A and B are shown apart, each in its own frame.
Chain A
Amino acid sequence: MGATRLGLVLAVVLCGTGAAYGIDATSLADPVLEARYLQLTHELRCMQCQNQSIADSPVGLASDLRREVHDMLLAGKSDEDVRAYMVSRYGEFILFRPRFSWRNAWLWFGPPLLLLMGLGVAVRIVRQRAALVATDPDAADDDGRA
């Protein structure tokens, strides 16, 4: 097992395979700031326990990052400032919600596109079948059963 693999395994063990979590009892006096704090800390990934947000992660790095968010909000920075701060240090991966960019376009455009395609398929099939109703000898039937 390579050294980096071992490190990764250790990180997983330290992160308690998700069994341990952190409770963030920080609170901000201003309810608007408090709401933004909660929102941001849930949006940012804990880089050590990569499937948890910094709000939920028990590790030291998470509480350090939460402290940074806290201090930045008190200093009057905007949500975008906070995200930019984190991304410039840790890369896009730190954001749980991928920011819209041309690289991610397929992720965000995908679902509506699929829906449109699905609609197209549905229309075609229904038209096709509706035309066959007259020639279909099968008696229409309803006994309430599927």
Chain B
Amino acid sequence: MNRFALPLALFALLVVVLAIGIRHSPEKGIIVSPLVGRAAPGFALPSLTDAHQRVSSQELKGRWYLLNVWGTWCVECRAEHSMLMQVGHAGVIPLIGLDWKDEDDHALEWLAQLGNPYQAIGVDHDGRTAIDWGVYGAPETFLVNTQGVVVYKLVGPLTRESWTREILPRLPRPASAGF
């Protein structure tokens, strides 16, 4: 090969990389979570709704559940709330809330206003549990299976699309999404 054609060849390689980069770009900034495929971190948090109760991973052992990280300060969480309400009431899978870096009274007010889709809500004031789950922005939703392994992580609000395309297919007996 003519050695003067080398720059052209290298450029062609670069174009391929850039083209792939563009194709992937809608997902830019979404970091693949190292938790997927591993055991979900344990947690034991005070319940938002009942001061004497705890919400813990122990109780959830052996069941599929969705852990939804939210806060009243989070604009996107408000956007996903109606979808969460549908998921919560459909009863397909328990929805556990993780109230992250929030004020309890704000959170209770929010739920009173918008409705409570959660079966249980744990309160994480200092953010330690969220860090254990590798949370870096709200809202985030984790799908955990009966063995306590994180099967899927969704960054961003839960939409009908992500529910039907990503979460339902991973459940053992895919229930109908027609709600």
Instruction: State whether these chains interact.
Output: yes
The minimal Cβ–Cβ distance linking B137 to chain A, given in whole angstroms, is 6
Q: Digit string of B34-75 for contact with A (CB within 8 Å is 1, else 0)?
A: 110000000000000000000000000000000000000001
B136 and A6 within 8 A (CB): no
Asked if A126 CB lies within 8 Å of chain B CBs, one says no
**Of all chain B residues, which has the CB nearest A8?**
B29
Contact of A93 among B26, B31, B76, B128 (CB under 8 A): B31
Contact of B75 among A10, A89, A93 (CB under 8 A): A10
The minimal Cβ–Cβ distance linking B84 to chain A, given in whole angstroms, is 14
Q: Interface SS of chain B: helix, strand, loop or mixed?
A: loop
A47 to B134, CA, bound (A): 9
Query: Given contacts A60-B101, A61-B127, A89-B34, are A7 and B134 in contact (CB under 8 A)?
Result: no
The minimal Cβ–Cβ distance linking B21 to chain A, given in whole angstroms, is 15
Asked if B155 CB lies within 8 Å of chain A CBs, one says yes
A65 to B133, CA, bound (A): 13
Number of A-B residue pairs having CB atoms within 8 Å of each other in the complex:
64
B34 and A90 within 8 A (CB): yes
Asked if A127 CB lies within 8 Å of chain B CBs, one says no
A48 partner residues in chain B, CB cutoff 8 A? 136-137
Asked if B159 CB lies within 8 Å of chain A CBs, one says yes
Report B's interface with A, CB cutoff 8 A: 26-35, 75-76, 79, 101, 126-128, 130-134, 136-137, 155-157, 159
* Other contacts beyond A3-B157, A67-B126: 6, CB < 8 A: A7-B155, A11-B137, A50-B29, A64-B131, A65-B131, A93-B31
Question: Could you give 11 example pairs across A and B, Cβ below 8 Å?
Answer: A2-B26, A3-B157, A4-B30, A6-B76, A7-B157, A10-B75, A60-B101, A60-B127, A64-B101, A64-B130, A87-B34
Report A's interface with B, CB cutoff 8 A: 2-8, 10-11, 47-48, 50, 60-61, 64-65, 67-68, 87-91, 93
